[in-house]
Structure 1
Amino acid sequence: MTDQREVAIVRWPGQTPSAEEGLAGLLAAYHLRTEAEKGEAVADADGLPDRYRAEISDPRTAFVDDVVLLALSGDTAVGCLVVTAPAGGRSEIKRLWTDPAFRGQGIASGLLGAALAHAAESGVSGVRLSVWKWRTGAIALYERLGFTTTEPWDERDQLVCMQRAV
């Protein structure tokens, strides 16, 4: 059973020196799992497409205009989410990931709540996201938080596009 320690949601970069390494690990796990689910498994982060390796190796540059939220259990990063800079009156939520050992503790919901609060403070009218259709648990979570399926802006097969007002 996983230790149910208190988890804090913080904006990255922050004061925790180990957070950047933790964020890189979370991003790597997210991308490796996604590629495997798409049937394109690779052995490690070195086998990922360039754009994903860039996020992992230098998140400060990859997300320079965005807000990165981290869930921390002590000094350990256990979840992450990226909110893109506002464009056209809305932001996009990307890279929601919770370390599997910490799932079921409300971390994803906490990250999404913090992302929606940030979006509201930024003055956007809406938030959108895309999710692979086989991630039914994530889709159910998004629906519970008021997201609805919308016309796709990304034509990749099996990708569900969702949005909600802020």
Structure 2
Amino acid sequence: MTDRHEVTVSRRGRTPAQDDGLSGLLAAYHLRTEAEKGEAVDDVDGLPDRYRAEISDPGTAFADDVVLVSLIGEVPVGCLVLTAATDGRSEIKRLWTDPGFRGRGVASALMGAALAHASEAGVSGVRLSVWKWRTEAIALYERLGFTATASWDERRELVCMRRPV
């Protein structure tokens, strides 16, 4: 049976009326990322403090940012954070699609919504960083007009990309 629900993206409020699944999505993102970096941990308690803070209280961690959650039907399947603009530029962080829902346009919908918000907010450019082994994500970013740029981050194997809005 094929799931024919459309992907919807909603902007998360600081205090959502119900659990929108963001904490679970962030936990999955950080656990998978640590495993891919060769630093796997058994559960959220093994993550660095800064990541645990995002998971336990995303409203505080991203208080100044735009947080998007995507749904298929009523199931939270993806998230993205667009940071508050600094010097006219924002950064995309924490783009994540639940692996069971990949290939359905979730990441594209989140990126489209983030770029539209950046444009409406008068942001001149958006940047992001992505691990070099995440080739599908890099291909998506390139399709959306992002190009590789000199790194602003000292971590090895990180690809930094930018695009004007």
| TM norm. shorter chain > 0.5 | yes
Report the Cα offset of residue 91 of structure 1: 0.2
Superposed CA RMSD in Å reads 1.3
Q: Which residue of 2 aligns with 1:48?
A: 47
Taking the aligned partners of 1:45 and 1:2, their CA distance within structure 2 comes to 32
* Structure 2 unaligned residues grouped into runs of 5+: none
Report the Cα offset of residue 18 of structure 1: 2.4
Would the aligned equivalents of 1:4 and 1:105 in 2 still touch at CA under 8 Å?
Answer: no
User: Structure 1 residues 105 and 16, CA, compared in 2 at 3 Å: closer, same or farther?
Assistant: farther
Q: Which residue of 2 aligns with 1:18?
A: 19
Q: Which residue of 1 aligns with 2:124?
A: 125
Q: Which amino acid aligns with 2:77?
A: V
Q: Which residue of 1 aligns with 2:30?
A: 31
Equivalences for 1:133-144 in 2 at 5 Å? 133-144=132-143
Would the aligned equivalents of 2:7 and 2:105 in 1 still touch at CA under 8 Å?
Answer: no
Q: Which residue of 2 aligns with 1:8?
A: 8
Taking the aligned partners of 2:145 and 2:158, their CA distance within structure 1 comes to 18
Q: Which residue of 2 aligns with 1:68?
A: 67
Report the Cα offset of residue 60 of structure 1: 0.3
Report the Cα offset of residue 77 of structure 1: 1.0
Aligned length: 164
Taking the aligned partners of 1:28 and 1:60, their CA distance within structure 2 comes to 15
Taking the aligned partners of 1:160 and 1:86, their CA distance within structure 2 comes to 21
Q: Deviations over 1:38-89 (max 9, x none)?
A: 0000001110000000000000000000000010123321100000000011
Taking the aligned partners of 2:6 and 2:140, their CA distance within structure 1 comes to 21
The alignment status of 1:146 with 2:149, answered yes or no, reads no
Q: Which runs of at least 4 in structure 1 moved beyond 3 Å after TM superposition?
A: none
Q: Deviations over 1:103-156 (max 9, x none)?
A: 101110010000000001111110000000000000000000000000111111
Residue 161 of structure 1: SS of its match in structure 2?
Answer: strand
Report the Cα offset of residue 15 of structure 1: 5.9
Residue 28 of structure 2: SS of its match in structure 1?
Answer: helix
Would the aligned equivalents of 1:2 and 1:102 in 2 still touch at CA under 8 Å?
Answer: no
Report the Cα offset of residue 3 of structure 1: 2.3
Residue 87 of structure 1: SS of its match in structure 2?
Answer: coil
Taking the aligned partners of 2:2 and 2:22, their CA distance within structure 1 comes to 20
Q: Which amino acid aligns with 2:107?
A: A
Taking the aligned partners of 1:88 and 1:153, their CA distance within structure 2 comes to 15
Report the Cα offset of residue 4 of structure 1: 3.3
